[in-house]
């Protein structure tokens, strides 16, 4: 894929009115999701649930791409159709999670670094052959009074940049995901300071590794209060702080920022995205790359029962449409009832 093609895919991922479905839960994480509706964590059940999402009528109206797990990108639907082909036929770009998870960072208590660079070049070549046109790598940054350390920020930024360079070499658009976690009692101001430091380290590393920013997507946290913070920032404050943070740190060459929902409720994630797009005046597309915030109600509606597939797909289509509206600041809470 040429430089132009990488840029073209990146721009298609953040097309107006569209965002990304994160359906890349690891086997352990999907076990928790299925467990919440008393459905056994079998390969068939994982396949049936994801097939339900991917076969939703009009999925391509508001979903530009889907991040898949290694198992899913290789699976076929119940009727034998490869799930990748199912997405492609619906005009949706298949993507793949390639990191191997966050592991303890030596010499830095309470901090992690994401692993998975060994053998990544070969894995990316295989994923491209299967049909993946973008990939994802997640780094997790914890906040306390004492962390993150500069050491942890730089270690994660370096790994993200190495991954991104390998992706572009393989003609795959890298989503770089440095997630500042909302666990803790920190204020929104503290989250903003840490997010700015995280993104400064990331973009320094991407420049050093010669990554072409026009062919990348950023998947960050929003600037929110810690989950246990007594004084929670409201929707407008979250929107203003997040935009200020990114204007200070994210180069204009980046085509789009696709937020993770990171512990927010479905409606909160939509409201925050909408408030930012209402403010406007930034150089990148502000979009979504949600997992739970697109799936929580869908999963409950399905409950593992084939008879509920239609109802569950309607719920998923609704959440996709609400976030599609939030992409242009046109979402309103009254549309939830409709």
- The pLDDT of residue 338 is 64
What is the spatial distance between Cα 192 and Cα 180, in angstroms, rounded to a whole number? 9
pLDDT digits (tens, 9 = 90+) for 156-209: 999 999 999 999 999 999 999 999 999 999 999 999 999 999 999 999 999 999
Q: Which residues pair with 20 in a beta bridge?
A: 65, 289
- The pLDDT of residue 55 is 98
Q: 22 — phi, psi (to 5°)? A: -90, 100
For residue 79, give every residue at least 6 positions away whose Cβ sits within 8 Å of its Cβ, in sequence order, or none.
Answer: none
Q: Is the pLDDT of residue 261 over 80?
A: yes
- The pLDDT of residue 200 is 98
- The pLDDT of residue 263 is 87
Mean pLDDT within 132-138: 98
DSSP count for the chain of H helices, then E strands:
13, 10
Convert 121-133 to b/e letters by CB count within 10 Å (16 or more is b). eebbeebbeebbb
Mean pLDDT within 54-59: 98
> CB–CB of 278/329 below 8 Å?
yes
Catalytic site residue 177?
A: yes
What is the spatial distance between Cα 156 and Cα 139, in angstroms, rounded to a whole number? 6
pTM for the structure as a whole: 0.97
Q: Is the pLDDT of residue 302 over 70?
A: yes
pLDDT digits (tens, 9 = 90+) for 303-314: 999 999 999 999
What is the spatial distance between Cα 295 and Cα 187, in angstroms, rounded to a whole number? 28
- Residue 294 vs residue 338, higher pLDDT: 294
Mean pLDDT within 8-17: 98
Q: Tell me the domains of the chain and their CATH numbers.
A: 3-337 (3.20.20.70)
Task: Pick the catalytic residue from 51, 177, 179, 266.
Answer: 177
Q: What share of the chain in percent tops pLDDT 70?
A: 99
**What HEC string does 260-304 produce?**
CCCCCCHHHHHHHHHHHHHHCCCCCEEEEEECHHHHHHHHHHHCC
Split at pLDDT 50, 70, 90, the class of 1 is low
Split at pLDDT 50, 70, 90, the class of 2 is confident
Average pLDDT, the chain: 97
What is the spatial distance between Cα 21 and Cα 288, in angstroms, rounded to a whole number? 8
DSSP symbol at 220: -
Q: Is the pLDDT of residue 152 over 80?
A: yes
Catalytic site residue 71?
A: no
- The pLDDT of residue 29 is 94
| Cβ count near 46 (within 10 Å) | 21
pLDDT digits (tens, 9 = 90+) for 92-132: 999 999 999 999 999 999 999 999 999 999 999 999 999 99
Task: Pick the catalytic residue from 219, 266, 271, 285.
Answer: 219
- The pLDDT of residue 316 is 98
What is the spatial distance between Cα 247 and Cα 221, in angstroms, rounded to a whole number? 15
What is the spatial distance between Cα 163 and Cα 165, in angstroms, rounded to a whole number? 6
């Amino acid at each position: 894929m040429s430089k132009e093609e990488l840029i073209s895919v990146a721009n298609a991922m953040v097309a107006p009115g569209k965002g990304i479905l994160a359906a890349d839960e690891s086997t352990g994480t999907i076990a928790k999701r299925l467990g919440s509706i008393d459905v056994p964590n079998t390969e068939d059940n994982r396949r049936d649930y994801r097939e339900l999402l991917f076969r939703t009528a009009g999925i391509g109206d508001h979903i530009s791409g889907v991040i898949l797990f290694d198992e899913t990108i290789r699976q076929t639907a119940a009727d034998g159709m490869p799930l990748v082909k199912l997405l492609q036929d619906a005009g949706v770009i298949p993507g793949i999670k390639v990191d191997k998870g966050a592991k303890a960072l030596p010499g830095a208590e309470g901090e992690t670094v994401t692993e998975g660079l060994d053998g990544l070049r070969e894995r990316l070549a295989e994923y491209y052959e299967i049909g993946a046109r973008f990939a994802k790598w997640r780094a997790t940054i914890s906040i306390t009074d004492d962390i993150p350390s500069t050491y942890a920020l730089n270690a994660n930024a370096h790994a993200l940049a190495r991954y991104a360079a390998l992706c572009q070499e393989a003609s795959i658009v890298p989503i770089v995901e440095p997630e500042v976690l909302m666990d803790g009692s920190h204020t929104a101001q503290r989250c903003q300071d840490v997010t700015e430091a995280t993104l400064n380290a990331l973009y320094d590393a991407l420049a050093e590794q010669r990554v072409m920013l026009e062919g990348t997507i950023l998947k960050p946290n929003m600037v929110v209060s810690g989950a246990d913070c007594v004084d929670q920032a409201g929707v407008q404050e979250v929107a203003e702080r997040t935009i200020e943070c990114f204007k200070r740190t994210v180069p204009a060459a980046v085509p789009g920022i696709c937020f993770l929902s990171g512990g927010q409720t479905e409606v909160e994630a939509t409201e925050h995205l909408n408030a930012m797009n209402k403010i406007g005046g930034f150089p990148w597309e502000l979009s979504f790359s949600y997992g739970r915030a697109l799936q929580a109600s869908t999963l409950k509606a399905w409950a593992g029962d084939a008879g509920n597939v239609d109802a569950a797909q309607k719920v998923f289509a609704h959440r996709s449409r609400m976030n599609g509206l939030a992409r242009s600041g046109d979402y309103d809470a009254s549309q939830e009832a409709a």
